[in-house]
Structure 1
Amino acid sequence: MDTVNLTSGFILLAFSDLHYYHAVLFSSLLVIYALTWTANLLLISSIILSPQLHTPMYFFLGNLSVVDICFSTVTVPKLLSCILRGGTSISFLGCFLQMYFFVLLGANESLLLSVMAFDRYLAVCMPLRYVSLMNDRVMNMMNISCWMASSLNSLLHTYILSQLKYCEDRLVHHFFCDVTSLLKLSCSSTNLAELLIYTEGSVPIIIIPFLLILISYVSIAKSIIRIKTSSSRSKAFSSCSSHLMVICLFYGTVIFIYIRPSSDYSSQYDRIVSMAYTIITPMLNAFIYSLRNQDVKQAMKKLIMQGFSLS
């Protein structure tokens, strides 16, 4: 079979099999995408403009919102185009650029969530040393480290898959250029590629951060139990509850997609689950932190009222 080159590219099928639901799907995704931008921009603006939110926790939360906006932007505009056209072509270079930024932002979110868990561990378990341990230098180093590690991880993924030979069947049964989808299209051996991707990608980017989060929250739970007053326990738990919900949303879907044998791959189920963490989760993250955090709600109300007064 002929192999694709830099000019032939691929064809994203997305949800072209759901002909009768295209109008509902398109309008729903457009609303979700608009809400993702609106909620996250409002959250970022509130954090920047409110002095009371200039703390490490909200610094990382602001970075998470930036990642969520970019994460959804990598896939949603192309998906909307696919729905309108019933499938759309994407160049070889465009496909791997999309995959590079998708893996980069997904890995960054995973690492950032583990950093946020460590921040909560220091705040709850070491409150007297928290300010000295989590200073501006440490925050910036952690943030830069997340971006550097996720960039290198994404570059390796992209390079490995770009070196494979792809067959004449260029139909990608997904709404973006995902790692598992492209592996299925290769007509060369993918054993080495799968080994490198699922070990280098899964272990340092998904499994280790997830274990660090578990360890952090076990220690947090022990510290909360030892707190004598119920009001203090409630306050300590409330500072972590939003982050726990976001972790469950993100890792629950990511582990289902990537921590499993490639033989279990199902394009139909994977498209649905992928929508959860690429489209739904970036919107819900902002709402979870906004609605469950009193400081953020007050800052947002103040920002909105100032906007109305200026208009």
Structure 2
Amino acid sequence: MFTLLGNLLIMATIWGERSLHTPMYLFLCTLSVSEILYTFAIIPRMLADLLSTHRSIALTACASQMFFSFMFGFTHSFLLTVMGYDRYVAICHPLRYNVLMSPRGCACLVAWSWAGGSVMGLVVTIAIFHLTFCGPNEVHHFACHVPPLLKLACGNNVPDVTRGVGLVCIMALLGCCLLILLSYAFIVATILKIPSAEGRHKAFSTCASHLTVVVVHYGFASVIYLKPKGPQSLEGDTLMGITYTVLTPFLSPIIFSLRNKELKNAIKKTFLSKLYPEKI
């Protein structure tokens, strides 16, 4: 509920405050949408299973959950990369910002992020559910995640599918991460050239919330996808998967609302003016 309300608060604030109708906040609003959809893809089913004694899921429902969780998860990664590019253009090429980040260009970047997430979700889901599953069909996880499903698969092509899916996910995540690091390398180099300390602080403060969310998102993702897979790692994977699924969408709106001064002031202005009109 806190994840849902936090992201809805950000979306309502951006929608209602005209000063926030800029590319940076358009991407943030879209990021909140992907956070909400990612949460809805997993959490309601997980809560229902925790409260039920009959915990079963149909094969099609399992495939759908995997597709949507990967789709929204990778869309989130692509949007974070786009937001890094937006900060790069704003700080390194401010005079060309309105041209490079035009409404049409921003819409294309958002559309490509969603399309890329959909392709990733489709590739991973098709690869996994083309395998043959051998009983007992007990998924040792709170959701239809790749590693526990691969444990249930049988056939000579399972190792190839495991390596292929792992390679695709790692390449996509590392590609996004490297592009963000490259953007911030140019940003830091530009900020260091600003003569005044106040100017450097102001320029970096516009990136602080995005950079914090990137560290949280890729920190958890790297632990899940890059850590060595041992025979006893399944329980650790389950615990880390729960942490990543529940905590990351919960932390993102908190980080953006607390670390972004402009958004924080807009939230106060938009909602306090309705609650306490005589004080505004």
TM-score by length of 1: 0.85
Residue 71 of structure 1: aligned partner: 38
TM-fit CA distance, 1:233:
0.5
Q: Give the secondary-structure state (helix, strand or coil) at the position aligned to 1:88.
A: coil
1:282 matched to 2:246: no
Q: For the structure 1 residues 265 and 161, does the alpha-carbon distance in structure 2 shift closer, same or farther, using more than 3 Å as the test?
A: farther
Aligned residues: 276
The correspondence for 1:249, drawn from 216, 233, 236, is 216
Structure 2 residue runs of 5 or longer lacking an equivalent are: none
Matches within 5 A, 1:1-311: 34-85=1-52, 88-189=55-156, 190-203=158-171, 205-263=172-230, 266-308=233-275
Q: Give the secondary-structure state (helix, strand or coil) at the position aligned to 2:56.
A: strand
Percent identity among equivalent residues? 37
The one-letter code of the counterpart of 2:165 is I
Q: Give the secondary-structure state (helix, strand or coil) at the position aligned to 1:172.
A: coil
Distance (Å, rounded) in 2 between the aligned partners of 1:146 and 1:130: 20
TM-fit CA distance, 1:260:
4.2
TM-fit CA distance, 1:84:
1.4
If asked which structure has higher relative contact order (CA below 8 Å, sep 6+), I would say: 1
Tell me, yes or no, if the aligned pair for 1:180 and 1:262 is still in contact at 8 Å.
Answer: no
Structure 1 residue runs of 5 or longer lacking an equivalent are: 1-33
Q: For the structure 1 residues 264 and 217, does the alpha-carbon distance in structure 2 shift closer, same or farther, using more than 3 Å as the test?
A: farther
Distance (Å, rounded) in 2 between the aligned partners of 1:244 and 1:264: 34
The one-letter code of the counterpart of 2:198 is S
The one-letter code of the counterpart of 2:106 is M
TM-score by length of 2: 0.94
TM-fit CA distance, 1:86:
5.1
Superposition RMSD in Å: 1.6
* Per-residue Cα deviation, 1:174-202 (whole angstroms, up to 9, x for no partner): 11101112111112231221232122232
TM-fit CA distance, 1:44:
0.3
Distance (Å, rounded) in 1 between the aligned partners of 2:54 and 2:223: 26
TM-fit CA distance, 1:309:
6.1
More divergent stretch after superposition (83-92 vs 257-266): 257-266
Distance (Å, rounded) in 2 between the aligned partners of 1:127 and 1:185: 53
Distance (Å, rounded) in 2 between the aligned partners of 1:87 and 1:223: 58
The one-letter code of the counterpart of 1:208 is G
TM-fit CA distance, 1:263:
4.1
Moved over 3 A (4+): 260-265
More divergent stretch after superposition (246-255 vs 269-278): 269-278
Q: Give the secondary-structure state (helix, strand or coil) at the position aligned to 2:90.
A: helix
